């Protein structure tokens, strides 16, 4: 709590805020308006206002004193309550009040022409999500059911609806979409993203190119992640690559987040990240995996997956990485083929299964001849290798032309 | 039933709590900040199933397996299942035979606590109906139909009361096991039309019960450590994902795995399921079948069974596609690889329209480089595992309930 505040000073601070609010609206200054709503930011302006509200106690009367700001009573009264509750660490109360203020704000927003208030709206949607998250933590710790974030999700959908209209306001829809993504990802109700994605991608009023760059990058990042989870690797490649290409070079943390998901996708098509890239963005959990792929070392792959098991499972890329096994086997066979080619080019394409067994053993991986045959047959069946295998002779015979076709992200039947 | 009179003395409320709980209905409290939040596991909707969403929980007061009004009504209408009939009389039942039926449409205003059975009564009811599985007087289809419906009613009563404790969890675990075992037996009698339609419905209820069970685990986990049965039930769910299309599920497997407590992921049962899933997705048919045979518990085996045949067909596909044309793949070796009797391998090949040849070393599969698919008419029938261990597990099946 601040040092002693006189009633006069408190009153002054309150009216100062109210004037700023009203001025921001009349001058259509979205940015300034937004700054007055960032409750979770601990800005000095708002902290000092909170002190004033606690001292003065009857702020509602002040609001009603002048027509200039009493018209925004429905927004201001709950905003004050939200701010006070937040500073007193009553996060659930704060959220409830803030949601009330936000609803009132949306009503006004609908009536304002042009998109001047979008900046303020962005702040609002961000705050609602953050306050809800923190409120839920508080509720959970008290043994109560944490449903504020769920409520925030509903509110955000409402905001989306307000923006999904013809006119300049529609460019704000992508920002709100991203807030929705973050909300749904946190809640674990990821399937709810589907409907809003459909709106963005198919509704006639939206033109993707018109949205701000920053929002497009965030959008592609989240939708790219969804594609990774659904194992649509081709789509994942497109979206995450877009995000990477359009991401600002100095936003290193964002680049890192994109790479975390893009790397497994690229690995699936045999594209390896350079070691310096992994180093620069602190993604060394992938180094052993890349090494395993290059060497054809299954033991190393399994070990690397084991070592970072938790991390990969939490980010959701584990299953994609696990599937790289076939590529590791393929790589091993290819290496054997290359070595044999150097010794005797005419016989290189015939590889004894025993040789593969031996190579695997040398890489600390025990596999019997039957299993090697099984793996060879799968590689051939899935078009990762061309040729045939002869059970009786225990040999795999590679095609003389292009025995190792290029990998693609297209699904293999 | 002497037990029931004793229970009547206890105040209704207390019947639902673990001794350590506070004296109010159990609410969800979160796990630590490191774990991703799971607000779907709240008290108000732990039940994923019967759409009993917005009921305020009620306390059931019906102390019989079936409310008197319902029994009398069904006696009048002669709507009694064979197991409910007194001395075979289709119009006469008794309190010790009648079991409450599942009611598809329940509206909130019709809800009367005297129609709802509290948890201890439900446990007795469950015991009573599961015993029927051991009876040899009736066909499995008849028994299954009865238990299927009556367990659904038990779950309905439980969800209306939002009871969450060890007893309830135990009941759900038993009901999940019932559905798993049923799936195995339904496939054995897959020739009947009942079985064919029931297989899918049984699977649906299996998944619903399992999801509800997970919600219960979540709620209870806040105040107690992970139960020793939990890993096995999670492994069931993972194994159920074997056949699903990754592009087309409500929740992608990657996201589900994210939410599981690490301790469970590292358990033996889950490691086994994850290994199987990996081999399935890689197409390593040899390891898949071998691991299933060597390590699956009976219940896990029941779930894996359909996929074993699928993987066998994959093996045949690979052999047909990539095998050397001039050397038919010996059936004997195949039978060892796929852990099947030689005759069964031959039948499977016929099902898939695969050509066999006879040579001096026995029959073999001809590699013809064409696409192989199992013929749909025979797709419900499974070829058993030619394994002593599995046969032994199957014979001990009913003891699990």
> DSSP secondary structure string, A47-64?
HHHHHHHHHH--HHHHHH
User: A274-278, B66-70, B186-190, B251-255: which range is least confident on average?
Assistant: B186-190
What is the reported pLDDT for A76? 94
Dump pLDDT digits (tens) for B294-309.
999 999 999 999 899 9
- Please report which confidence band the pLDDT of residue B71 belongs to, taking 50, 70 and 90 as the band edges: very high
Characterize B230-250 residue by residue with b for buried, 16 or more Cβ atoms within 10 angstroms of its Cβ, and e for exposed.
bbbbbbbbbbbbbeeebeeee
**pLDDT (mean) for A82-99:** 94
**pLDDT (mean) for A254-277:** 94
CA distance B43 to A144: 10
Mutate which: B314, B324, B364, vs A, most A CBs within 10 A: B324
The Cα of B392 is separated from the nearest Cα of chain A by a number of Å equal to 27
Contact: A230, B38; criterion CB under 8 Å:
no
The token duo for A362 is 């040398």
Contact: B257, A318; criterion CB under 8 Å:
yes
- Closest Cα partner for B30 from B228, B221, B294? B221
Write the residue in B44, B287, B318 that is nearest to A381 by C-beta: B318
User: B220-224, B342-346, B385-389: which range is least confident on average?
Assistant: B220-224
Is the pLDDT reported for residue B380 higher than 80?
no
Would you tell me the crossing angle of helices A252-268 and A213-229 to the nearest 10 degrees?
A: 40
Write the residue in A140, A316, A325 that is nearest to B30 by C-beta: A140
Q: Residue A298: list chain B partners with CB under 8 A.
A: none
Is A248 in a helix, a strand, or coil?
A: coil
Write the residue in B284, B315, B324 that is nearest to A388 by C-beta: B324
Residue whose structure tokens are 């009264």: A77
Would you tell me the crossing angle of helices A213-229 and A173-187 to the nearest 10 degrees?
A: 30
Mutate which: B255, B261, B330, B363, vs A, most A CBs within 10 A: B255
- Summary mean pLDDT of chain A: 92
Contact: A375, B284; criterion CB under 8 Å:
yes
Dump pLDDT digits (tens) for B258-317.
889 989 999 999 999 999 999 999 999 999 999 999 999 999 999 999 899 999 999 999
The Cα of B26 is separated from the nearest Cα of chain A by a number of Å equal to 9
CA distance A59 to A73: 11
| Between B180 and B24, the higher pLDDT residue | B180
- Closest Cα partner for A370 from B386, B318, B239? B318
What is the reported pLDDT for B1? 38
Mutate which: B43, B215, B263, B283, vs A, most A CBs within 10 A: B283
The Cα of B379 is separated from the nearest Cα of chain A by a number of Å equal to 20
The token duo for B373 is 């698919």
What φ, ψ does residue B323 adopt, rounded to 5°?
-75, 160
User: A34-38, B28-32, B239-243: which range is least confident on average?
Assistant: B28-32
CA distance B94 to B85: 8
What is the reported pLDDT for B57? 75
Q: Residue A320: list chain B partners with CB under 8 A.
A: 254
CA distance A86 to A97: 10
The answer to whether ipTM exceeds 0.85 is no
Q: Could you give the angle at the alpha carbon of A295 between the alpha carbons of B253 and B314, nearest 5°?
A: 45
Strands ordered across the beta sheet of A387-390: A350-352, A395-398, A387-390
- Summary mean pLDDT of chain B: 82
CA distances from A115 to A31, B193, B389 (A): 12, 63, 71
**pLDDT (mean) for A272-292:** 93
What is the reported pLDDT for B378? 62
CA distance A120 to B398: 65
The Cα of A197 is separated from the nearest Cα of chain B by a number of Å equal to 15
């Amino acid at each position: 709590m601040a040092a002693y505040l006189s009633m006069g000073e408190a009153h002054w601070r309150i009216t100062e805020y109210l004037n700023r609010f009203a001025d921001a609206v009349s001058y259509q200054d979205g940015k300034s308006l937004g700054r007055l709503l960032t409750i979770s930011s601990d800005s000095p302006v708002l902290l000092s206002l909170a002190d004033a509200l606690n001292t003065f106690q009857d702020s509602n009367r002040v609001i009603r004193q002048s027509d200039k700001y009493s018209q925004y009573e429905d927004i201001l009264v709950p905003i004050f309550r939200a701010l006070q509750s937040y500073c007193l660490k009553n996060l659930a109360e704060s959220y409830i009040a803030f949601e009330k203020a936000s609803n009132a704000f949306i009503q006004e927003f609908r009536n304002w022409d042009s998109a001047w208030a979008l900046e303020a709206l962005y702040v609002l949607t961000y705050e609602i999500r953050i306050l809800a998250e923190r409120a839920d933590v508080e509720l959970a710790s008290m043994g109560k059911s944490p449903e504020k974030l769920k409520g925030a999700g509903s509110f955000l959908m409402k905001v989306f609806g307000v923006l999904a209209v013809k006119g300049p306001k529609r460019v704000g829809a992508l920002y709100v979409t991203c807030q929705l993504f973050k909300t749904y990802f946190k809640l674990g109700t990821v399937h709810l993203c589907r409907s809003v994605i459909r709106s963005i991608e198919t509704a006639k009023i939206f033109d993707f190119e018109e949205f701000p760059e920053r929002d497009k990058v965030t959008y592609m990042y989240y939708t790219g992640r969804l594609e990774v989870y659904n194992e649509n690797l081709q789509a994942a490649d497109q979206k995450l690559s877009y995000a990477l290409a359009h991401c600002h070079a100095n936003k290193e943390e964002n680049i890192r987040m994109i790479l975390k998901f893009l790397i497994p996708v690229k690995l699936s098509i045999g594209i390896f990240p350079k070691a310096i890239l992994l180093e620069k963005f602190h993604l060394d959990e992938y180094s052993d995996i890349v090494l395993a792929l290059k060497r054809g070392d299954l033991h190393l792959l399994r070990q690397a997956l084991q070592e970072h098991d938790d991390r990969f499972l939490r980010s959701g890329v584990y299953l994609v990485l696990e599937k790289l096994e076939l590529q590791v086997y393929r790589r091993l066979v290819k290496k054997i083929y290359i070595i044999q080619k150097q010794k005797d080019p005419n016989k290189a394409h015939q590889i004894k299964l025993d040789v593969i067994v031996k190579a695997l053993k040398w890489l600390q991986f025990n596999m019997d001849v039957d299993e090697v045959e099984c793996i060879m047959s799968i590689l051939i069946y899935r078009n990762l290798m061309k040729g045939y295998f002869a059970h009786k002779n225990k040999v795999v015979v590679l095609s003389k032309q292009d025995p190792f076709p290029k990998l693609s992200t297209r699904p293999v039947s | 039933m002497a037990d029931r009179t004793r229970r009547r003395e206890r105040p209704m409320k207390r019947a639902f709590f673990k001794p350590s709980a506070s004296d109010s209905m159990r609410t969800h409290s979160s796990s630590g900040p490191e774990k991703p939040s799971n607000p779907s596991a709240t008290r108000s909707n732990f039940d994923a199933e019967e759409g009993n969403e917005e009921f305020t929980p009620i306390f059931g007061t019906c102390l019989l397996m079936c409310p008197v009004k319902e029994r009398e009504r069904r006696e009048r209408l002669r709507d009694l299942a064979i197991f409910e009939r007194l001395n075979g009389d289709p119009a006469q039942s008794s309190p010790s035979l009648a079991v409450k039926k599942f009611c598809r449409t329940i509206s909130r205003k019709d809800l009367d606590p005297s129609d709802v059975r509290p948890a201890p009564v439900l446990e007795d009811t469950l015991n009573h109906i599961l015993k029927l599985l051991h009876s040899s007087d009736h066909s499995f289809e008849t028994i299954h139909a009865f238990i299927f419906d009556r367990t659904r009613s038990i779950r309905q009563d439980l969800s209306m009361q939002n009871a969450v404790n060890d007893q309830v969890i135990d009941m759900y675990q038993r009901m999940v096991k019932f559905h798993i075992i049923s799936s195995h037996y339904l496939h054995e009698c897959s020739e009947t039309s009942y079985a064919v339609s029931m297989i899918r419905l049984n699977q649906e209820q299996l998944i619903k019960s399992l999801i509800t069970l997970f919600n219960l685990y979540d709620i209870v986990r806040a105040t107690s450590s992970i139960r020793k049965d939990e890993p096995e039930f999670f492994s069931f769910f993972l194994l159920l994902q074997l056949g699903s299309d990754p592009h087309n599920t409500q929740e992608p497997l990657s996201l589900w795995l994210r939410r599981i407590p690490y301790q469970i992921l590292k358990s033996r049962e889950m490691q086994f399921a994850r290994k199987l899933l990996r081999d399935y997705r890689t197409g390593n048919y040899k390891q898949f079948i071998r691991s299933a045979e060597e390590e699956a518990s009976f219940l896990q085996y029941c779930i894996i069974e359909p996929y074993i045949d699928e993987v066998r067909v994959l093996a045949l596909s690979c052999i047909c596609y990539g095998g050397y044309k001039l050397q038919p793949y010996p059936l004997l070796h195949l039978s060892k690889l796929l852990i099947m009797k030689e005759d069964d391998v031959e039948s499977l090949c016929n099902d898939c329209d695969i050509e066999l040849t006879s040579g001096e070393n026995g029959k073999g599969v001809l590699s013809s480089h064409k696409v192989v698919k199992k013929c749909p008419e025979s797709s419900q029938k499974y070829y058993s595992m030619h394994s002593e261990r599995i046969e032994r597990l199957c014979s001990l099946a009913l003891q699990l309930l």
